[in-house]
């Protein structure tokens, strides 16, 4: 059974981004996350990561459409 929540290091690996980029996504609210434990470790629900990815696909499609329409 896959874990419900992912560490930010897992998010970094899945998205192929750096640690600062992952923290920036969480801090900006673009990627919803929770803090758990005494040290406030960030965790991202797998469903939230998938929703973020889908939003990025939609935004990219819109950018491409807008660029094509401008030509």
Instruction: Answer yes or no: is pLDDT of 1 > 90.
Output: no
Instruction: Answer yes or no: is pLDDT of 71 > 80.
Output: no
Beta strands in the chain (DSSP E): 5-7, 34-36, 41-45
pLDDT of residue 7: 96
- Contact between residue 8 and residue 24 where contact means Cβ atoms under 8 Å apart: no
SS3 percent helix, strand, coil of the chain, rounded to 5, is: 60, 15, 25
CA distance linking residue 64 with residue 50, whole number of Å: 21
């Amino acid at each position: 059974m896959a874990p419900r929540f992912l560490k930010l290091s897992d998010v970094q690996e899945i998205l192929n981004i750096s640690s600062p980029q992952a923290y920036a996504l969480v801090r900006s609210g673009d990627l919803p996350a929770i803090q758990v434990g005494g040290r406030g470790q960030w965790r991202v629900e797998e469903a939230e990561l998938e929703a973020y990815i889908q939003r990025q696909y939609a935004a990219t499609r819109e950018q491409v459409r807008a660029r094509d329409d401008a030509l």
